[in-house]
Chain A
């Protein structure tokens, strides 16, 4: 059984009486441990797809199964709990809370998980070690560089040991060098067995992932059978560490 299973997912918005089909029958599987990119131009529906995959939004039609749980029937409370326990997000604009320091930002998901103060601290420090920012724990986000902020955001996404991490244009606000470092970090994380979904409009970045799903007009344009995914890999990525 795949980690994430989408079957004929539709999402329609009503904007001023006009029906907008953001997603129009998307079916896909994501296996545990995959490093995958969702690519498409702006307005293609990739963000909508990510929001639905990330349980931030629910589909108009279709079924989604995450880790064996039927998402489309979950209540908002259950969705919040799934976001908390099974999913991590990394955003383009980092989305750290400016009033909290780095450690508190990383602790945030555990507060909602109900962990006690000591456990929160310990695990947040572990997550910060993973992104090599443990010496910046007491800094404010505003005192960090963009790349460091994004690494804090990654630590926050990982702190509850989620089943899957979604990164929405994680390098979009970074210079190419820092962006590369972030992507390398993601690659390292996948090698440790984490599942990461990268959402981007940039084919160069998408090229770094073993598997790509292209969205166009709310549909998967190059439908790749997950079992055949290996055929689609960019050669450079076949040897991790040497990419671009």
Chain B
């Protein structure tokens, strides 16, 4: 959304500055162009929002209403019962405690994994961008390569590894896997951000007497808010939404919310409770939405930082 807003802003600014010399007809054509643009954008927005609309309305209907009413209709009577059930009593397999325990599993997994992978990425990026060492390019290529290894490839060796480390089926095990998988991306983010910081800054700090960590904490970290936001949003979304690692490496007590959501939707007793399923799905998706809403504006800024000067 934000990138579209930027586009329309730029267009409107252009249309505002040009008519000074142009004719009235040209100004009118620009206005029509702008309205056309808005119409297209609104159309796309509606299209993309449709599933969310269906999910939200269905989750607020009773089962009775879902059976009799239309898919797109607004609820006649709003009920929050499906939400309560999804949160605390829906059955995932044989366990009927709702999403709540699994939601906290996901929090316990995602928060440390995001924090650790971001910190390691920041340090890696700092080294690759500012402390070149022989073979640095090779190392960086290897780390980058890690971004492109499909999850399925590592399932078996990782299971073996976690078993050897005694972390199989535990939340720390999942944290470990996600940190390893995240380092490639976070390193790339931070390295590309820090490359835009002039080397003379490091040199000046060296002459001033600062060492490796002092330069990092006093000079680089305070500059890093935009890229930390990018890293956190990216990692949080990846880790929170991950299903494959969650289903492969978790035990009965450590399943993340995505796995539980799958189990709730798939374990039915007779009638399919669409409203509970929809409520569960929204609950499972809320944290990533929230992170983006809170920090979204830094996300775009961080992704484009350094690409254009000034």
A-B interaction: no
Residues of A with Cβ closer than 8 Å to B? none
